[in-house]
Amino acid sequence: MFKNEEMEINLGPQHPSTHGVLRVKLRLDGETITHCRPMIGYLHRGVEKICENQTFFQGQVWTDRMDYCSAVANNLGWAEANEKLFGLQAADLMPPTLVSADPNVIVGYVEEWGRGVLKPTDCMAGRGIHILDPRDPNLHSILDTATLRGQRQVVVQQWIEGVEELGDRRVIVLDGEPIGAVRRVASGGDFRCNMAAGALTRADEVTDRDREICARLAPLLRDNGLHFVGLDVIGDYLTEVNVTSPTGLREIDALSGTQLSDRVVEWIETVVEGSA
């Protein structure tokens, strides 16, 4: 005569500060709770309108505040991971690298190396990159401008031979694992291997050296909540860890016939479902 049916109810929020952020979905057998599932929700702060008046770097800190538990990348780790400097935590993977604001110190290293490459610490897409040659009469002028006459630090790396012919490689890393690569070769008389600077792209594949580099970096990336990044590799050397906008997926898929974009989305869905 009587059917024993379970009931599902939503409990909460109990406090205005958790409205829309946390509710608990309960399954009841009579007065007995048989299942409990916390539901992390969306904290609406008008973030869409707020970000309209912010720069990208100002706006990105709001995304963790919308949903504390489901941001794809940890924004604290994202903000602290300077792309030109992050790899120095495993400095032996990189070419000899100097971080300095002192033009005289930089000149000394460039003379020792024979040639170097200068990079600003806060630019992308090849902006502000210069070849440093001790024979160049413009060397001191370049350094005065780049360092604001000794007031701003820059990154200087030893020139890697062969980059003119072979270019560099973008290696896409998902959850610490290299999943694809594309080669970028400078063109049009430019030395920069950035696609935004007109570099040509060629099909490539993940190498054993890429796997070695990723094995070293994976714990650092995971500790900082950086699950989707792009590595710049020249020869056997790691030169940068790109966390802001690790481009290259479309080029790899087009050149290699892969579906890495689908793989990234599937990984995100798996993580979200696992945390639900």
Confidence category of residue 20, pLDDT binned at 50, 70, 90: low
Exactly one of 64, 168, 184, 224 is catalytic; name it. 184
pLDDT of residue 250: 85
pLDDT of residue 249: 86
Please say if 240 is a catalytic residue.
yes
Please say if 10 is a catalytic residue.
no
pLDDT of residue 106: 94
DSSP string, 150-161: TTS-EEEEEPPT
Exactly one of 168, 204, 210, 240 is catalytic; name it. 240
Exactly one of 169, 192, 210, 251 is catalytic; name it. 192
Confidence category of residue 73, pLDDT binned at 50, 70, 90: low
Exactly one of 23, 169, 170, 183 is catalytic; name it. 170
Give the distance between the most distant pair of CA atoms in the chain: 98
Same fold, 96-158 and 162-275: no
pLDDT of residue 26: 86
Please say if 27 is a catalytic residue.
no
Q: Does the bond joining 120 to the residue before it have cis omega, within 30 degrees of 0?
A: no
Exactly one of 83, 210, 232, 251 is catalytic; name it. 232
Q: Write down the number of H helices and E strands in the chain.
A: 10, 12
Exactly one of 23, 64, 83, 119 is catalytic; name it. 119
Please say if 192 is a catalytic residue.
yes
Please say if 242 is a catalytic residue.
yes
Determine the average pLDDT of the residues in 230-241.
91
Which position has the higher pLDDT, 30 or 102?
Answer: 102
Range from 3-17, 25-39, 237-251 carrying the lowest mean pLDDT: 3-17
Exactly one of 64, 83, 169, 242 is catalytic; name it. 242
Q: Which CATH number fits domain 162-275: 3.90.850.10, 3.40.50.300, 3.30.470.20, 1.10.645.10?
A: 3.30.470.20
Q: What is the pLDDT of residues 163-219, one digit of tens each?
A: 777 888 999 999 899 999 998 887 877 777 777 777 788 888 999 999 999 999 999
Q: What mean pLDDT value characterizes the chain?
A: 81
Neighbours of 230 (CB within 10 A): 22
Given its phi and psi angles, is residue 242 left (phi above 0), alpha (psi -120 to 50 degrees) or beta? beta
Q: What is the pLDDT of residues 111-162, one digit of tens each?
A: 999 999 998 887 777 777 888 998 989 999 989 988 988 888 999 999 888 7
Q: What are phi and psi of 211, to 5 degrees?
A: -65, -35
In this predicted structure, the answer to whether residue 110 has a pLDDT above a threshold of 90 is yes
Fold of 96-158: Dna Ligase; domain 1 (3.30.1490)
In this predicted structure, the answer to whether residue 69 has a pLDDT above a threshold of 60 is no
Type of residue found at 72: V
Domain map (residue ranges) of the chain? 7-79, 96-158, 162-275
Token pair of 242 as six digits: 């790109």
Which position has the higher pLDDT, 77 or 149?
Answer: 149
pLDDT of residue 273: 72
Please say if 119 is a catalytic residue.
yes
Confidence category of residue 17, pLDDT binned at 50, 70, 90: low
In this predicted structure, the answer to whether residue 2 has a pLDDT above a threshold of 70 is no
pLDDT of residue 170: 92
Token pair of 31 as six digits: 């007065």
